[in-house]
Amino acid sequence: MAAGMEHVTVIRWNWRDVFGWSARKRPVEVFIWKVEGLFSSSKKFKPNDVYVECHMGHNEPMRTRVHNNAGSSCLIRESFQLNIDESAAGTLMTLLVKDQALVASTELGRLMISTRELCGIEDQTGKRRMIFDYSEENFISLDLSPSGKIWIAIAPVDDSEPHERERLLSEEDALTC
Share of the chain above pLDDT 70, in %: 73
Helix/strand/coil for 123: helix
pLDDT digits (tens, 9 = 90+) for 29-83: 999 999 999 998 766 678 899 999 999 988 999 999 999 999 899 999 999 999 9
Contact predicate 154/125, CB 8 Å? yes
* Cα–Cα distance measured from residue 142 to residue 148, given in angstroms and rounded to the nearest whole number: 9
pLDDT at res. 43: 64
Cα dist from 28 to 31, 42, 68, 127, 153, whole Å = 10, 35, 28, 11, 10
Cα dist from 39 to 32, 42, 108, whole Å = 19, 9, 7
pLDDT of 7 over the 70 cut: no
Backbone angles phi, psi at 119, to 5 degrees: -65, -35
User: What's the rounded mean pLDDT across residues 5-12?
Assistant: 52
Q: Average the pLDDT over each of 116-125, 128-137, 168-177 and give the range with the smallest value.
A: 168-177
Residue whose C-alpha is closest to residue 98's, from 49, 34, 149: 49
pLDDT at res. 177: 47
Contact predicate 27/68, CB 8 Å? no
Return the C-alpha torsion angle 97, 99, 100, 102, nearest 10.
-150
b/e per residue, 133-150, with b = 16+ CB within 10 A?
A: eeeeebbeeeebeeebbb
Answering whether pTM is above 0.95, one says no
User: What's the rounded mean pLDDT across residues 153-159?
Assistant: 88
Quickly count helices (H) and strands (E) in the chain.
Answer: 2, 9
Entry field: residues in the chain: 177
pLDDT of 1 over the 50 cut: no
